[in-house]
Amino acid sequence: MFFNNWFKINDKKYLDAISTAGVIGLHMVSATVVGLAMGWYLDRWLGTKPWLTGVFLILGIVAGFKNVWLDSRRLLKAQDKEDAEKFGPKD
Amino acid sequence: MAGGLPHPVLWSTLLQVDQVTIGGATVEFKHVFYTWCAMAVLFSLGLLVRGGLKLVPGGIQNVFEVIIGGLEDFVVTNIGEDGRKVFPLLGGIFLFILFQNLLGLIPGCDAPTANVNTNAAMAVFVFLYYNYQGIKRWGPGYIKHFMGPMWWLTPLMLPLELISHTARPLSLTLRLFGNIRGEEIVMVLFFLMAPIVGTIPVYFLFLLGKVLQSFIFFMLTMIYLKGAFEHAH
């Protein structure tokens, strides 16, 4: 039964991988949303209607992609570590 | 409760604490009540384990030692020795959210994390805490974490980092809320279709989902703390 494995320490590896993979999507969306909201409220505050919204939306999208990139690098690093344990270090 | 669907029966309704009036304003109190339930369970388990602490662990002490020891190893391999300083908070967050989530599986109880306020409170706390740790560690130099790898990239990186840091509590809140609330709704639906029998199979799926969600919250908090501790690139 997989219940027995839940509290085993070695399986943290899998839990870690699943979590990192599951996190990626929302990280991208939330950065975009925050960028949009920031631009929207700055526009309302400063009265520069469409400009800051667009700029901050683009910044938010870029930040979202940066998050995705960092998360995938984390996944790849874990994968490399596992491979190194199995097949010896990369040359 | 769950999306307008009636929850079959709730202890909080029986005790009449669904809504309370504080200073003339009637506020939703269900999630606070169930948060207190989770806290009561954790406190009594903690006192129980502490009361019967033995050199050769057995029973419940064994379970706790395995969970906490495993999490501590995980934190220390990821953050390094600094991890031991913040481990009480990280382990506390994991156990707290785990028990809050699992409360949703107990008949007559509702998961407090299915209310967005509980999650927002925890996410904002995590946000403030890792920034506090970063400022404590680096002083004014903590700003370097927001400025990117090269000095001439600063005008670009500063807003980017600001946005991605502000997005963190939002994504923490929404992920936990969406998952747990969705599970509660599906559970009520299954219960309406086939009472008792229909809910048993989804119990196992949701047990996995709830443990996974609490682990994700814990792991993200750990990653943020790691980012605050390590040297700016």
pLDDT (average), residues B104-116: 86
Residue showing tokens 């050769």: B56
Identify which of B210, B219, B134, B206 has the alpha carbon closest to the alpha carbon of residue B171: B219
If you ran DSSP here, which 8-state letter would residue B150 be given? S
For chain A, the domain total comes to 1
Q: Find the CB nearest B215 among A8, A15, A67.
A: A15
Instruction: Tell me how far apart the alpha carbons of residues B23 and B25 are, in angstroms, rounded to a whole number.
Output: 6
In a domain, A72, yes or no: yes
pLDDT of the residue at A1: 44
Residues of B in contact with A56 (CB under 8 A): 159, 163
pLDDT for residue A61:
92
* ipTM, two decimals: 0.77
Residue with tokens 């996944």: A75
Higher pLDDT, A17 or A31: A31
Pick among A4, A8, A19 to test the B interface (most B CBs inside 10 A)? A19
Tell me if A15 is assigned to some domain: no
Backbone angles phi, psi at B90, to 5 degrees: -65, -45
Per CB-CB distance under 8 Å, the chain A contacts of B69 are 9
pLDDT at position B141 is 84
pLDDT in tens, A59-83: 999 999 988 998 888 888 888 887 8
The SS3 of residue A89 is: coil
Show the beta-strand stretches assigned E in B70-188.
none
- Among B158, B164, B213, pick the best mutation site for testing chain A contact (most A Cβ within 10 A): B164
Q: What are phi and psi of B26, to 5 degrees?
A: -85, 125
| SS3 at position B22 | strand
Cβ-contact B175, B213 below 8 angstroms: yes
Question: To the nearest whole angstrom, how far is the Cα of B57 from the nearest Cα of chain A?
Answer: 16
Break chain B into its structural domains and give their ranges. Answer: 2-229
Domain range for A45: 27-79
Tell me, yes or no, if B53 comes closer than 8 A to chain A by beta carbon: no
Q: Quick one: how far is CA A21 from the chain centroid?
A: 8
Report which secondary-structure segment, H or E, holds A65.
Answer: helix A49-87
Q: Residue B27: what are its φ and ψ, rounded to 5°?
A: -125, 155
Which tens digit of pLDDT belongs to each residue from B172-208? Answer: 999 999 999 998 888 888 888 877 787 788 888 888 8
Q: How far is A26 from chain B (nearest CA, A)?
A: 6
Q: What is the pLDDT of residues B125-159, one digit of tens each?
A: 999 999 999 999 888 888 888 887 777 888 888 88
